[in-house]
Structure 1
Amino acid sequence: MQANPAVPDLGLHDIILPPPPSSWPPSLLALLIALVIVILIVVGVVFFIQYRAKRKVKRAAITQLMQLKATQASITELSALLKQAALHYYPREQVASLHGAAWLDYLSQSSQQKANFSDVKSRWLAAFYQRSVMANDADFTLAKNWLIHALPANHTELKVTSSKGSPAHV
């Protein structure tokens, strides 16, 4: 650039601008928002892992139920699968000693009657003592409904009415 002879040289230098403000360190508000986001992500991951772990046995039981259906299993084997799943989610003191009509009542009550075993009670009770009675599609559907609606247990204690009509603590 050539100097203009009409403009006298005053010996001034060009204006040097300061550097633009840095984004580091971030403001206190930005740090707080980032911290809250990180905490929410960690809590979400922990809850998701617990959710999956809590329902792992339920998924395995449904898978095993489908395998039993493919092999035309007996009602006794079907009941044993339901008892295994119940023992995992409900207290052993409630479930382990149940058998016969009390077991079927417990299954109905623990699913809030969404899997009602009273309709098949006589057939299942007879089948408990005859291993050759094969489960039909309705039995497998009933068992799957119980696995879906009763597991995982939302409550730890149920009262099952005994066959005489009085409530029995299990």
Structure 2
Amino acid sequence: MKESSDSTLPTLELPLKALHLPDAPSWFPLAWGWWASFAAIIVAILAVVLLIRWNKKKQAPKKTALRLLKPSHTAVKPSAAIELVRQAALCYFPREQVAQLTGKEWYAFLDSQLTDPLFQPNEHQWQAALYQKDAVENPEELVEHCYQWVNDALPPKKGRAKLG
């Protein structure tokens, strides 16, 4: 033991080595919780992308029909407008049930998809527009009914999707 000259306490010299702290924990490999979080985020992003693509595909016939039936298109005749409505309906409803509908049954089907009937009250105008050479009184109104039907009835609502 050495004694310190300026202090009365003895100092002890022990043969100790310097302190070595352990290495900091590595960030890799990640814990399973992080991998599960990354997988959940990837699945969620993929689901959103697929949902958006599915919705675009589902809405494509409606958007095309609405573009062709725009009220600004004055050249659209009622016969062409009702044909566009039939084509759009065939995209959303079963072909074997819709394709066979004609006349009153067709107009009844169209009105069954709307809250307010547009086609059955104007059945005589429609028949005249489709099968007579003479022009009907309000062809723009008939085309507007077609536009309104495509806009309101497509895609079919679950409560009104029944045919007939």
TM value normalised by structure 2: 0.76
**Aligned ranges for residues 94-113 of structure 1 at < 5 Å?**
94-111=97-114, 113=115
What displacement does 1:79 show? 0.7
C-alpha spacing 1:109/1:38, structure 2 compared with 1 (3 Å): same
Is the counterpart of residue 41 in structure 1 residue 45 in structure 2? Answer: yes
What displacement does 1:23 show? 1.4
Residue number in structure 1 paired with 2:3: none
User: Which of 25, 28, 32 matches 1:28?
Assistant: 32
One-letter code aligned to 1:46:
L
- Whether the 8 Å CA contact 2:69–2:143 is kept in 1: the answer is yes
Q: Which stretches in structure 2 are left out of the alignment for 5+ residues? A: 1-5
CA deviation vs aligned residue, 1:75-133 (integer Å, no higher than 9, x gap): 1111111011111211121121222222111111123x355323322211221112543
**Aligned ranges for residues 77-88 of structure 1 at < 5 Å?**
77-88=80-91
Residue number in structure 2 paired with 1:167: none
What displacement does 1:65 show? 0.9
Aligned length: 151
When the two chains are superposed, the root-mean-square deviation of aligned CA atoms in Å is 2.6
One-letter code aligned to 1:103:
W
One-letter code aligned to 1:142:
H
1: CA distance, partners of 2:14 / 2:33: 48
Residue number in structure 1 paired with 2:78: 75
Residue number in structure 1 paired with 2:130: 128
Q: Point out the structure with max Rg over C-alpha.
A: 2
Say which is worse superposed, 148-157 or 72-81, in terms of deviation. 148-157
- Whether the 8 Å CA contact 1:89–1:152 is kept in 2: the answer is yes
TM value normalised by structure 1: 0.74
1: CA distance, partners of 2:18 / 2:139: 94
Q: Which stretches in structure 1 are left out of the alignment for 5+ residues? A: 1-5, 160-170
1: CA distance, partners of 2:46 / 2:63: 25
2: CA distance, partners of 1:114 / 1:12: 95
Say which is worse superposed, 38-47 or 55-64, in terms of deviation. 38-47
2: CA distance, partners of 1:69 / 1:99: 28
What displacement does 1:157 show? 4.3
Residue number in structure 2 paired with 1:163: none
One-letter code aligned to 2:103:
G
C-alpha spacing 1:59/1:117, structure 2 compared with 1 (3 Å): same
Identity rate, percent: 28
